[in-house]
A and B are shown apart, each in its own frame.
Chain A
Amino acid sequence: MSGMKEHPIQLGTTQKNKVHNGKSRDRAIRKPKMSKLSLKENIWGYIFIAPWIIGFLGLTLGPLVFSLITSFTDYNVTSQMHFTGFDNYKRMFTIDPLFWTSLYNTVYFVVFSVPLTTAGAVIVAMLLNQKMKGIKIFRTIYYLPAVLSGVAVYFLWMQLLSPSTGLVNTVLAWFGIDGPAWLFEPEWTKPALVMMKMWSVGGGMLLYLAVMQGVPKAMYEAAELDGAGSIRKFFHITLPMITPIIFFDMVTSTIGAFQIFQEAYVMTDSGEGGPSNSLLFYNLHMWNNAFEIFDMGYASAMAWVLFVIVMILTFLHFKLSKKWVYYESGDEK
């Protein structure tokens, strides 16, 4: 009995979106009943997303506005806040030499680490996208470093990079290369961190692998019939198919790389910046201003400059993406 009752209702609901627009117009005519229902739905909706709204207002939007205001003051937690206009920004751009050092170090790191890790992840994914025995074991091994992070890993790398007895220079010596002092030589500190980042390309690799496995086999077979070799197949089929992920990866890893902090903090003995300040990254400088000398106003101004830089870069990424990212069904209608 009840099954029969439900039947017509279920039919109505299984007919998807296409019919739906027309239906909701019908609903609008029968006003009182439906609006009561939709009011209830609205309330439920907001109940469910309430935690996010609280978090967004309290931990994101509020702090953003607050730090914008603070950036125009000399706020230092303990004494009264004074409005100082653009002083913090002026100091940043014209007086504080460490601001430019930290920006340079950060841009250096972004410029090398982002393309190298992206390319590395694509290459590793390509190698692992084979039907071969034991490939799953390799996938597991390559992914492992992506889950290892934190202080222990930074200590490990300090040990690996140790000038005379570290693993890296020991291996280099086998090939007759006299390795640098890495974390003790200003020119080699940042390459050392890029190298450390490269160790965990496995995280990005999985994204690419997932998409590569979704490429229809028929496309490759058709290309083979046309006599295409592996290289041509990669550049004409695989690469276009993964461009949306490359784009996503580049956007998020650029934002991530701009925020490099923990590595440098731990590997330079609590944020001192390393030899010749070569590891004084932007966020480390901001941190020192905020939590070492409690110049919250200046730190907030730095935070906003970072925010603007990252927003501009993300905007450019999106703008440029139209030129190279391939969307299967994304042609202009």
Chain B
Amino acid sequence: MSNSVIGSKKKWITKKTLIYLILIGGSLVILSPVWWMIATSLKTPQEIAQYPPSFWPDSFKFSNYLEAWQTAPFTRWTLNTLLISGLSTIGSVLANAFIAYGFAVIKFKGKNLLFGIVMATMLIPGFVTLVPQYIIFAKIGWVNTYLPLIVPSFLGSAFFIFLIRQFMRTIPKDMVEAAKMDGANHFQIWWRIILPQIKPALITVAIFSFNGSWNDLLGPLLYLNDENLYTLQIGLQTFKGTVSTQWNYLMAMSTTVLLPIILLFFYFQRYFIEGSNLTGGQKF
């Protein structure tokens, strides 16, 4: 009896060690590209070209960052990106929470059918509507403005509507009914009762929207022609044309562009992970 218990305990310990070893190995694989980016950004061009490459920079040339930043209007591009990402995040949170309330709380004719359509739109490849959307925005004179990058956020997106709706449905119906009895209308109920209770979901949507907007290349590429209007993504892309193979500069600016997202990730980790859990817990 006791022998087999000891045996299984031993087995568990070796299994545990094995799992640790695999996990540490995997972590190295995942983190080494990030380190490589930082290391390269601090090297001199000579060191980057040398073979075999070094894992630890000889000189830590922090001036690469300043030099690269000054080569192109990065300050301007950063402000542009913050403006677009900020506005579309606000739009996304408000609109999706608003729409989700309609689907989660109010009873109206055709609701199920319409919600089915919402879900079905997730299956439409975005590229299919790209050309006509461009033509529409061109016709109303929105090309070379930020409107095509911001306004659609105020019209909701299927995935976020779904996510917030799931969250809203966990709120007891009595609260809504009680507020109705007190004479509150749906708008007041949405704003005063529901929104404060779904803060985690709203933060999740805000983070995902901001992240998506920050990393978006396609939209700016399509709609922005004027270099002064560029975002960081398209700016970085043109920056490569300027510095071509000066990888120290390219990696310095890549690190800079990714840094806010990395900080956001560590600060709001819980919400990134919770957001995925919300949808992951659902059965499809």
Contact = CB atoms under 8 A, between A and B. Distances in A.
A227 B86 CA distance: 56
B128 A55 contact: no
A210 B236 contact: no
B177 A9 contact: yes
B114 to A, nearest CB: 7
Name A's interface SS: helix
B83 interface: no
B98 A144 contact: no
B66 to A, nearest CB: 18
B70 interface: no
Contacts of A59: 129, 133, 152, 155
Given A48-B99, A48-B106, A52-B99, A259 B33 contact: no
B156 A13 contact: no
A296 B152 contact: no
A66 interface: yes
A270 B234 CA distance: 11
B118 interface: yes
B23 interface: yes
Interface of B: 15-16, 19-20, 22-23, 26-27, 30-34, 36-37, 40, 48-53, 95, 98-99, 101-103, 106-109, 111, 114, 117-118, 121-136, 138, 152, 154-156, 161, 173-174, 177-178, 181, 185-186, 190, 211, 214-218, 221-222, 233-234, 236-237, 240, 247, 250-251, 253-255, 257-258, 261-262, 264-266, 269, 272-273, 276-277, 279-281, 283-284
Contacts of A160: 33, 36
15 contacts: A44-B186, A47-B186, A51-B99, A52-B155, A138-B23, A138-B27, A145-B33, A147-B211, A151-B236, A157-B33, A259-B127, A286-B127, A286-B131, A296-B131, A296-B135
Interface residues of A, number: 103
A255 B16 contact: no
A149 B215 contact: yes
B268 to A, nearest CB: 10
Interface in A83-119: none
Interface stretch (A180-188, A231-239, A242-250, A272-280): A242-250
A178 interface: no
Contacts of A255: 123, 125
A262 B258 contact: no
Nearest to B222: A291
Contacts of B215: 149-150
Interface of A: 6, 9-10, 13-14, 16, 38, 41-42, 44-49, 51-56, 58-60, 62-64, 66-67, 70, 77, 124, 127-128, 130, 132, 138-145, 147-153, 155-157, 159-160, 164-167, 170, 173, 199, 202-203, 206-211, 214, 230, 244-245, 247-248, 251-252, 255, 258-259, 261-262, 265-266, 270, 283, 286, 290-291, 296, 299-300, 303-304, 306-307, 310-311, 314, 327-328
A153 B49 CA distance: 21
Q: Which 7 A-B pairs have the closest CB atoms?
A: A45-B108, A48-B102, A55-B155, A63-B132, A150-B215, A210-B280, A152-B254
A51 B98 contact: yes
A206 B33 contact: no
Contact of A159 (B31, B36, B117, B222): B36
Interface of B is mostly: helix
Contact of B280 (A155, A245, A304): A245
Nearest to A196: B33
Contact of B251 (A147, A149, A159): A159
A170 B54 CA distance: 10
Residue from A164, A167, A311 with most neighbouring chain B CB atoms (10 Å): A167
A70 B123 contact: no
Contacts of A310: 123, 125
A247 B154 CA distance: 31
Contacts of A159: 36-37, 40, 247, 250-251
A63 B174 contact: no
Nearest to A209: B280
B98 to A, nearest CB: 6
